[in-house]
Amino acid sequence: MDQLWEILAVVVVALLAGVAGVVGLVRGRSRKAPKVPPKTEQTPIERPVAKKTQYKPSSGMRIDTSKTAEPAPVKKQARKPENATQAPTATDTADVAEPTEPAEAAPATGETVDEDRPLTEAEATQTNPFDVEADEEAASSTAAETRELEKPESARGRMVRLRERLSRSNTALGKGLLGLLSGGTLDDEAWEDVEDTLLRADLGVEATTEIVGNLKKRISVHGATDEETVSQWLHEELLAQVGPDMDRRIAASRVGDRPAVVLVVGVNGTGKTTTVGKLARVLVAEDKDVILGAADTFRAAAADQLETWGGRVGVPTVRSDKEGADPAAVAFDAVKAGQEGECDVVLIDTAGRLHNKVGLMDELTKVKRVVEKRSPIDEVLLVLDATTGQNGMRQAEVFGQAVDVTGVVLTKLDGTAKGGIVVNVQRALGVPVKLVGLGEGPDDLAPFDPEAYVNAVLD
């Protein structure tokens, strides 16, 4: 019996020991495990990069697109002191390879460099590539600043060269007329062909009728139809129609104590801004002091284009950097600048406009009116495309009524056989053709010479 109680006591002790061990293990794990808060109670951390909304700049911010791409960064190199007594360090010689005579080998890593030792002859004559680059940049900058301005060609040289171009472009007209008139007996059908040839050249009905009538009289009186005689008669008749006695001078000289003011007008696409730039070259070649006014504020590149033309010959440009600015205000400022700078002439470029748009024509009238508050306008030049034919005539009439045109500039005269527009436009406006453009070169604008023009047509 005693033995049984001993066994039960052992079993009870073992069970108690096991329970105590389990309890201790559970308590130990609970002390090591961190308490994890419920997900619902976790406060999210705000991160700007995770926002989904679109970035909106403030009203005063804009992107500057004028900055060009910067070059890749170059590792800085210690420059030599001015007294040239410091030797290059190991880093210096390792970073940049010297382009001249080889210097002494750089000290190995960990070797102490004696900074007080004198330079060797090779080191003293060695060229720092950064110094060379800086010198080249300085020389380039100086060259750009002192770049010689372009020297425009003289008017005499222009006419010799341009006469050849005009002759090539109008050869068909001259040869066609001479072939018809010197072909023997001239019947009604032959005279109709002569009329058609003149009309196709844009001489106009009135001028054509006068020329044919006068030629008929000469031939009926003298009875000669040889090519030389007919050519002489035709030359005289055409020259009379062109008007050799018309005043083709351009008012581009100072009037008293003020500069002359020239307003340049025309429709889109006639080469108006280019003509203003070329005219500036003509005047500079005649030793005129010129200033440009970029009053074409509606075409984005017009002011830049005009400024480029002026910069080639050292002529300043008055402009507005604001697209769509008031053209009358720009023109007014240009005249003011010309007066204050004591210039000889102010050239004002205006925006191209269709002649059938009443609002735009009224705006051009406003430009003229505002400028005249500061100074009289001495010249109003109408730029016409010689290839437009009768449409150009309608343009001339409308512009003449709006701004009192005083002279005509015919562009692209070398690109058409319709050189008769010179006669037609002069009859319509009662003003002379003063300048002609015969190419895309910077000096392909010249004073109109009636004699040279007729010779070129008939040669």
Percent of the chain exceeding pLDDT 90 equals 29
Q: Does any domain span residue 182? A: yes
Considering the domain architecture, whether residues 292 and 423 belong to the same structural domain is answered as: yes
According to DSSP, the residues that pair with 264 across neighbouring strands are 349, 381
Among residues 62, 94, 432, which one has the least CA distance to residue 247?
432
Among residues 390, 327, 320, 330, which one has the least CA distance to residue 355?
390
Binding residue per annotation — 2? no
Two tokens, residue 444: 């392909």
d(CA 178, CA 234): 8
Binding residue per annotation — 413? yes
Binding residue per annotation — 293? no
Whichever domain contains 208, its CATH number is 1.20.120.140
Considering the domain architecture, whether residues 381 and 441 belong to the same structural domain is answered as: yes
Q: Does any domain span residue 278? A: yes
Q: Which of 242, 273, 307 is the endpoint of a domain? A: 242
Contact 80, 134 (CB under 8 A): no
Q: pLDDT-based confidence at 161, cuts 50/70/90? A: low
Residue 155 has what pLDDT?
55
Binding residue per annotation — 324? no
Provide the residue range defining the domain that includes 264.
260-450
Considering the domain architecture, whether residues 211 and 277 belong to the same structural domain is answered as: no
Whichever domain contains 266, its CATH number is 3.40.50.300
d(CA 31, CA 29): 5
Considering the domain architecture, whether residues 226 and 264 belong to the same structural domain is answered as: no
Binding residue per annotation — 36? no
Considering the domain architecture, whether residues 164 and 207 belong to the same structural domain is answered as: yes
Binding residue per annotation — 321? no
Q: Does any domain span residue 408? A: yes
DSSP 41: G
Binding residue per annotation — 68? no
Q: pLDDT-based confidence at 172, cuts 50/70/90? A: low
Q: Measured between alpha carbons, how far is residue 70 from residues 39, 64, 189, 434 in Å?
A: 50, 14, 75, 50
Considering the domain architecture, whether residues 229 and 284 belong to the same structural domain is answered as: no
Q: Measured between alpha carbons, how far is residue 217 from residues 198, 211, 451 in Å?
A: 18, 10, 23
Binding residue per annotation — 267? yes
d(CA 81, CA 278): 53
Average pLDDT over residues 198-218: 89
Considering the domain architecture, whether residues 159 and 298 belong to the same structural domain is answered as: no
Q: pLDDT-based confidence at 207, cuts 50/70/90? A: very high
Considering the domain architecture, whether residues 435 and 301 belong to the same structural domain is answered as: yes
Q: Does any domain span residue 208? A: yes
Q: Evaluate if pTM is beyond 0.75.
A: no
Q: Does any domain span residue 185? A: yes
Binding residue per annotation — 216? no
Number of compact structural domains in the chain: 2
Considering the domain architecture, whether residues 341 and 434 belong to the same structural domain is answered as: yes
Considering the domain architecture, whether residues 278 and 202 belong to the same structural domain is answered as: no
Two tokens, residue 428: 């319509």
d(CA 441, CA 274): 10
Binding residue per annotation — 424? no
Q: Residue 17: CB partners within 8 Å, gap ≥ 6?
A: none
Q: Residue 169: CB partners within 8 Å, gap ≥ 6?
A: 413, 414, 415, 416, 417, 419, 438
Among residues 259, 273, 263, 252, which one has the least CA distance to residue 371?
263
Binding residue per annotation — 27? no
pLDDT per residue over 221-260, tens digit each?
A: 887 677 788 888 989 999 999 999 999 999 999 999 999 9
